[in-house]
Each structure stands twice: as structure tokens, then as C-alpha cells.
Amino acid sequence: MEDENKNKYDFLLSLLSEGDAMICLDARLSEVDVPRDHKDNPSLNLILNLNFRRPLDIEKEGVYVTLAFQGRPHPCVVPFNAVWAIYDPTLKKGQVWEESIPTDIDLSEHLAQQAPKSVKTQPQVKAGGKKNIPEQTPRPKKDRSHLRVIK
């Protein structure tokens, strides 16, 4: 377990050196300190960045950071044994520690919720050769500002 926590520590530091990092954790563990509203969440996601104004301390045991929840700061304690995934929020790269995933969550469902939704769809060709073109949603009207371009 100690090697696993070292891997999480090293991976988190490498992501933070490039920008944001999101940690997925089981907030139900007793040693985790997050706001009471989130304490029953087996897949709580927290975004971290080294440029936060509030204190952020990453140690071998875990992460100690003050985060804002609904505009209110809360000093959080996140031990690495509660962390089961760390990834770049832009989904460029990440890592999951399968041994740490809570047994009562479905990882595929969690990943589907985190994946960006594709807005473009390809027309489907039916047996008769006609294309089934998906309905397009109406475009919102452009904001007509009081300024206009004069040539």
C-alpha cells in the first residue's frame, strides 16, 4: 500500500506541474475531511492547482488543501488511501488504481459521466439508401449589440 500511495503522490505532482489535476476519492472513509454534504460520496471529484490562493500541501500521506464549497472555504484532508483515480480534467491523461476503487461504484458509469458529450452526429443510411438526418436544434439568436461594424 505504501508503494501505491507513493505512485499516487508522484503522479499527482507530475500533473500539477503541468496545470490542473482532478482527484477522485471515496469521501466516506473516516480519515477524509470534506464538508458534511459530500461525506457520503464514494466518487467525489476535487480539482487541484498549485496556483490556488489558499494553502495546498501535498505530502506522502495525502493532500491537505483549503477548497471552496458553495463559496465557503473548508480545510480538506484527503489521504492517498482514499484516492482511487487522478487525471487531467481535460482528459488528456490519468491513472486509476483498481485496488482502491470502492466496490459499490460502477467505474464505467463514472467515466461516462466525466466524458465530454459529442454534439455532432453522423447521418445514418437506411436500407433504402435514404439518409436519416438527425434533427437540428434551433440556433440561438445572435446578440445584436448597439455597436456595428462600419466599412
Look up residue 50 and give its amino acid: L
Average pLDDT by consecutive 10-residue portion of the chain (151 residues)? 87 92 95 95 94 91 94 95 92 87 75 47 44 51 51 55
What pLDDT is stored for residue 117 in this prediction?
41
Strand spans (E) along the chain:
21-25, 44-48, 56-58, 62-69, 72-79, 83-87, 94-96, 124-125, 131-132
- Which of helix, strand or coil describes residue 113? helix
Q: What is the pTM of this model?
A: 0.68
| Residue 84 contacts residue 94 (beta carbons within 8 Å) | no
Compute the distance between CA of residue 26 and CA of residue 23 in angstroms, rounded to an integer: 10
What pLDDT is stored for residue 53 in this prediction?
87
What pLDDT is stored for residue 66 in this prediction?
94
What pLDDT is stored for residue 55 in this prediction?
86
What is the Cβ-side half-sphere exposure of residue 110, based on CA atoms within 13 angstroms?
18
What's the N-to-C CA distance of the chain in angstroms?
68
Q: Domain 2-114 belongs to what topology?
A: SH3 type barrels. (2.30.30)
What pLDDT is stored for residue 140 in this prediction?
56
Compute the distance between CA of residue 147 and CA of residue 7 in angstroms, rounded to an integer: 55
What are the sequence ranges of the domains in the chain? 2-114
